[in-house]
Amino acid sequence: MPALDLQTATLDLTDTGGDGPALVLLHGPLLDRTIWDGVIDRLPDMRCIAPTLPLGAHRHPAPENELTNESLTRLVADLLVALDLREVTLVLNDWGGAQIIVELGLADRVTRLALVACEAFDNVPAGQPGRMLARMSRIPGGLAVQAQLTKLRAVRRRLAASMAAHPIPDERMRRWFEPSREASIREDLRRFSARFPIPATRDWSSGLAAFTGPALVAWAEDDRMMPAEHGPRLADLLPDAELVRIPDAATLVPLDQPDLLARHLRELVQRPVRPAA
């Protein structure tokens, strides 16, 4: 597993290499790059890059880095520059912060965008699990208690059921939660999660109206974290978007439906880019 040293963070990442179209695949809080393994296996002719962001399941503390949606979006943009990636298809699942890549003027290397069951509009942090994480981050010692609870298999199974329509292997769940038992990793997560007001006071998706490239909005039919109406709203907001509904899937579509999602991503990559007006 290679690691990439950027100015503000060190990222573990999967990079399949090659000369195929580049996809950068992003995950949500308390998860890591492995949510994309099944999708990546189904896209052997594409260059797939999946970093582990400093969102609680990372293994390289980022004590000097401001951890906000804005700073993490800039980190993603730095990743594109460091790997010299161009005409990128940027794929978001669960975490939706990087939607502001257009608003921040950082989308010059992004040609296509896929929003897969992710935070949008005012649903930040997402659903009851996201809001609970934000609240625990505000309580002294709250995340330490949470880290201890995730040692229990029953707790891990309950969390898995809130994110996925199908069982998640417990080995994977343990991998996700193990880093947060380190105080430095918990502090990174606390600095990120405690910043979000509940309820949200910002529309995190409005800037997408300026993204004119081909876009995919893939919304899970059994999602309990992302409102069903947000999929159509995102598709209406993006000038060149296709909306697809993913059956038998919850938030973690890459785990629940890797075949179907890989097919839709392949179709997105093949869609032509409209000439600029």
Asked whether the predicted pLDDT for residue 236 surpasses 70, the reply is: yes
What distance in Å separates the CA atoms of residue 62 and residue 44, rounded to the nearest whole number? 32
Q: How far is CA 242 from CA 53, 101, 163, 199, 237, in A?
A: 27, 20, 24, 29, 11
**pLDDT in the model for residue 274:** 83
Say what the pLDDT of residue 276 is. Answer: 65
Please tell me the distance from the alpha carbon of residue 29 to that of residue 149, in angstroms, as a whole number.
17
61-68 contact pairs (CB < 8 A, 24+): 61/182, 61/184, 61/185, 61/187, 61/188, 62/8, 62/9, 62/10, 62/188, 63/184, 63/187, 63/188, 64/8, 65/8, 65/9, 65/188, 66/191, 67/188, 67/191, 67/192, 67/195, 68/192, 68/195
CA gap 160, 153 in Å, rounded: 10
Tell me the mean pLDDT in the region 152-160: 94
pLDDT tier at 1 (50, 70, 90 boundaries)? Answer: low
**pLDDT tens digit sequence for 163-199:** 999 999 999 999 999 999 999 999 999 999 999 999 8
Mean pLDDT for the chain overall: 95
Look at residue 129 and tell me whether its pLDDT is greater than 70.
Answer: yes
Range list of H helices, 16-152: 37-41, 69-82, 127-138, 142-149
Q: Considering the chain, what percentage of its residues have pLDDT values greater than 70? A: 99
Confidence of residue 277 (pLDDT cuts 50, 70, 90): low
Report yes or no: 239 and 136 within 8 Å, Cβ to Cβ: no
Q: Outline where DSSP puts E strands in 21-179.
A: 22-26, 47-51, 88-94, 110-118
Is the backbone of residue 248 left (phi > 0), alpha (psi -120 to 50) or beta? left
Q: Is the pLDDT of residue 161 over 90?
A: yes
Between 7 and 257, the higher pLDDT residue: 257
**What is the reported pTM?**
0.96
Residue 144 tokens, joined: 């330490």
Our CA angle for 239, 27, 21, nearest 5°, is 60
